[in-house]
Structure 1
């Protein structure tokens, strides 16, 4: 099969790999019909996430047609059309039974790597470094799906791939981020990052009762999408002081709820803090760049909530004194996708949201390396890329 393969920083290629096979009775094999490039894939592309190895197949937002199932698979069968959760979960450990699927005890086949780095191992993730299992990913023609009964949702309607594909990751991620922000009716919600997860966090904030949503980015195409599809007010951090503007917009109180949907490679307007963070990263004193996260901490009102769906991989310097002294609630985590797939599919089927509006580019899998570059450089108005295998 053809699959997108990691060869080092800034170097991904479509190579030929052996087709996947059933390794466990709970496995399924799917033929990919659509898959997508996630913003967190860029952290791999830029080598921010440790323990990538040359030859790894990447990608974690797939859907397709079931072509084979293991003997223990009961919920899906050959010919079914399914979306696959990016987090891999067994369904029966303490965490899965508590609906905390991204913390599964059993799906990371190499837990010792994460245990050394984090204290405990989260769930396995498709195509996302050997910290989370080194499990072959979904930017490929075929995918082996472990624990297939738990990690898939069957699409029984004729909705096109583009409307349901993002149940694999970014729609549940944006929704969980908004849910974890503890939004109360009428709250002012500020969202850092207007990429795909940010766009879904904006729309989810409205669904959960926000009275006002303010979106922060520097890329005009993303800001425009936040204004049109997301009905948000916007701040361009390249041309305005975010903290000053948010204080002005909220009468000095600050947003009630803040969502940081940027992650490890946050960009910042040129200033001393940004320069210091870049220097620390260059000198390997910190691996991640927390510009947006620290800004959200400083902006959030006293007693407010900060929700962080942005992906981080290593140590960094945080304004933690502000978190403590302002009595902020901090909520984080990889997404418990399986808990959200069914209710969010129902919202799509009812027409409450059309996830396809964020797609700006649809290309064949063979064009993936160039699309990574375009997505990385934010060229050609690129917000979200769907690949057709």
Structure 2
């Protein structure tokens, strides 16, 4: 009963925060929101508590565990026994496997398996979320193709989209994660929470978008999605995806170096001036949100600090910090916080999404850039909603 009351409070707060920035409150479709919330709660319970759901989650996590082992063989060949000696752990065991997973995604894309999955799942989702097919297809393709590569798949139709629809597409990309880095997440936090977050974030995104950015999808052009498959030779495609994976790994490495160094400098500066580190201060700022989504009072301060770190830097930095102190959290708090961390909701993602769109359509890139704060705000609410729903069933 107490967890249900806590969840109801979380829903009220999150929906109220979404209403503050809503573009058109009169067009909000209450029926679809209630429908999606019920479906998401049932999915969360199924994945975390039912025998069949636990088996499904374990199997998916086990698949990525095997893939990470294969990726490790390529890493070992290039870098020798550095990994076995515990050297450069993050680079060798977290970042390098992204290259292999990216190559696999390219193969599935080339043989039209991913476009088929995107169409089937997207069509089903469009029947239950009250949104258009493009919005639903984009939610699935963002997850499978990645934050940057996703917009390349829509390059033939991106220029036709209205600003409101561009907000939806960009917000979806920031609220989910790429399948190519799921294995990296699983090396830092418990794999089952990564799998659960993948599912919950998709539905939470639809719910929050129906509040923040409601519009009649039937009034928007529903383009042909032939752009979902680009014709290339097999080895040309494979080379492109391997290099794309390498670029992602290097971008993440650069961001980790820069952000961790900046946070260390801020901590030292704040400690010298105010007697409290920057992360401790941000922990107090995010403490109420951590408590609202179900994290226990004794864990909420540490959790708030990690949540803030994710927002101002990225999820990798936050996950690495959580990995070091995970044993200090109660199991339920750890699960809720882990689900919150699995998304691209941070300030750096604005530049990544806008840059990806700029390579396809410069005008639409400028449109998305103007949404900057609202995109981060909305995608953070998505993470809070997913975490709150996970907390209800944990």
Classify the TM-score, shorter chain.
under 0.3
More strand by share: 1
TM-score, normalised to structure 1, is 0.25
More helix by share: 2
TM-score, normalised to structure 2, is 0.25
